[in-house]
Amino acid sequence: MLDKIDLGRKISKEDYNKEMNDLEIRLGALQRAAKDLEIPVIIVFEGWDAAGKGTLINNLILPMDPRGFKVFTIVRPNAGERYRPFLWRFWTKIPERGRISLFDTSWYRTLYVGGKNRELSGRELSETYNDIKAFESQLTNDGYLLIKFFLHISKNEQKNRMKKLEKDKATSWRVTKKDWKHHKMYETLLTTFQRMIEHTDTENAPWTIVESTDKKFATIKIFKTLIGTLDAAILRRREEGGKADKKRPCKDTHDDRTGTSVLDKINPAQAIDDEEYKRQLKACQNRIRELEYVIYSRRIPVIILFEGWDAAGKGGNIRRLTRKMDPRGYEVIPVSAPNDTEKAHHYLWRFWNKIPKAGHIAIFDRTWYGRVLVERVEGFCTEDEWKRAYKEINEMERHIVNFGTVLVKFWLQIDKDEQMRRFRERETVPYKKWKLTDEDWRNREKWDLYKQAVDEMLYRTSTSYAPWTIVESNSKKYARIKTLDTVITGIDRLL
């Protein structure tokens, strides 16, 4: 495919100057329109060394309002990036709605830079392609505009440009021994690039091959492609009525295909006697303290998720879990309603920002499952959005687990009578009053709707690599022991 591209395409200086004036004005207007309509844009530049990525990016941003975009140059990952799943550093860089992010190389770098240093195994390659396509699909399904350019030049053109750079003292530093080594691997990398494009050229995120021998021609093609794509996206958004109101009224949206209730099969009244509780609690907490040191020394990340009914005991479980842990090695992340900055991003963005680096533990009090629970029931997202979220969450968790993360997910189950008893206790005990809110009572009124949402969540997101553990929690002591024991088992299994 790449070897069939006509790399001799050119444009005269006169025609270039004639076209560029109009294109620059048009691009500036479209950037403002995209901002007004809250359309987030991601522009990816990939291609050969010395293909002109820096120059072409600079040509593209000159007519744009610099307050509305940011350019990211992707190089070898630093320590913080290396110790997290590889998509983490890109999730943390996606733009707010109405802004533009430009990437000088991107998530695709792992495919060909990895290939330069060692041959990726078939399994690694397949998993990486799947991760990239899932990432791009999640973004474009959420309204992100993703435009991907591959800058193509011949081997001879690359050689001439590198020699020219070497001759100039101001630019000679840009050409290294490794660059020349890669140049000698041109044919091998050509196959790698072709495979990369073939596997990731999708309807929502297609590749545009840019013939880059003549930089004027390449600039015009990039401008026209970006303008055409922005134009179409803005037209679609205006036809849809501009900024979409994502709120929907609450309704019964239970999907009967999930079968009988998972929760109905659970007996939340499991119990443990006091002496046995004290003995097991001490043993579990000591073991968790030991494991915290082991995972730190072996650079194993751990993520523990807590979901459950209001007053089910999430806070108490977390306190017992962390009682003897070193506070430098873990973080408890309470999740509440998203703020304005978080709302301006993909809903998973704020959780990706909290993913721990290898060797550390993140404990989430409420999680990304809010999308298919509270946001679904309260109508804070559309039906299409929460239905799509099951697949997006499974893809995210698979990527995290494939990195080597211990992922433990808890649903704390109490019955309706026990919840009422705990609510009444909170009303009467002075130091517990702050825990009970008007929102808790409103949620209780929608118990059946939430139960349907929980059943479907457990059915669709309990996977072989990230299963749910349902904790019978009418007895707080029983629940705490089961929680601690499950965390220990999960870490021990990976070790």
The answer on 191 and 265 residing in a single domain is no
What integer pLDDT is reported at residue 118 of this predicted model? 45
Distance, CA of 376 to CA of 247 (rounded, Å): 10
What integer pLDDT is reported at residue 96 of this predicted model? 97
The answer on 226 and 272 residing in a single domain is no
Q: Examine the fold and report which residue of 207, 239, 271 is the final residue of a domain before the chain moves on.
A: 239
DSSP 470: E
What integer pLDDT is reported at residue 249 of this predicted model? 46
The answer to whether position 377 is within a domain reads yes
Q: Examine the fold and report which residue of 214, 239, 264 is the final residue of a domain before the chain moves on.
A: 239
pLDDT digits (tens, 9 = 90+) for 183-210: 999 999 999 999 999 999 999 999 999 9
The answer on 266 and 233 residing in a single domain is no
Distance, CA of 487 to CA of 469 (rounded, Å): 10
Whether 251 has a pLDDT exceeding 90, the answer reads no
The answer to whether position 106 is within a domain reads yes
Cβ-contact 301, 465 below 8 angstroms: no
Whether 291 has a pLDDT exceeding 70, the answer reads yes
Q: Taking the model in full, what pTM does it have? A: 0.92
Show the domain range for 118: 2-239
What integer pLDDT is reported at residue 79 of this predicted model? 86
The answer on 161 and 16 residing in a single domain is yes
How many domains does the structure of the chain reveal? 2
Whether 15 has a pLDDT exceeding 90, the answer reads yes
What integer pLDDT is reported at residue 124 of this predicted model? 84
| Mean pLDDT, residues 307-324 taken together | 97
What integer pLDDT is reported at residue 261 of this predicted model? 85
The answer to whether position 160 is within a domain reads yes
The answer on 418 and 456 residing in a single domain is yes
The answer on 349 and 206 residing in a single domain is no
The answer on 276 and 420 residing in a single domain is yes
The answer to whether position 191 is within a domain reads yes
The answer on 99 and 17 residing in a single domain is yes
The answer on 280 and 185 residing in a single domain is no
The answer on 273 and 139 residing in a single domain is no
Whether 147 has a pLDDT exceeding 80, the answer reads yes
The answer to whether position 245 is within a domain reads no
Pairing type for strands 406-413 and 361-365 reads unpaired
- On the 0-12 / 13-18 / 19+ scale of CB atoms within 10 A, 12 is exposed
Q: Residue 435: pLDDT band by 50, 70, 90 thresholds?
A: confident
What integer pLDDT is reported at residue 241 of this predicted model? 83
What integer pLDDT is reported at residue 125 of this predicted model? 87
Q: Examine the fold and report which residue of 239, 269, 299 is the final residue of a domain before the chain moves on.
A: 239
What integer pLDDT is reported at residue 365 of this predicted model? 98
What integer pLDDT is reported at residue 247 of this predicted model? 54
* CATH number of the CATH domain containing 314: 3.40.50.300
The answer on 297 and 418 residing in a single domain is yes
The answer to whether position 39 is within a domain reads yes
Distance, CA of 178 to CA of 180 (rounded, Å): 5
| Mean pLDDT, residues 375-403 taken together | 97
Cβ-contact 194, 2 below 8 angstroms: yes
Q: Residue 38: pLDDT band by 50, 70, 90 thresholds?
A: very high
Q: Residue 116: pLDDT band by 50, 70, 90 thresholds?
A: very low
The answer to whether position 397 is within a domain reads yes
Distance, CA of 79 to CA of 49 (rounded, Å): 25
The answer to whether position 251 is within a domain reads no
The answer on 19 and 120 residing in a single domain is yes
pLDDT digits (tens, 9 = 90+) for 81-103: 999 999 999 999 999 999 999 99
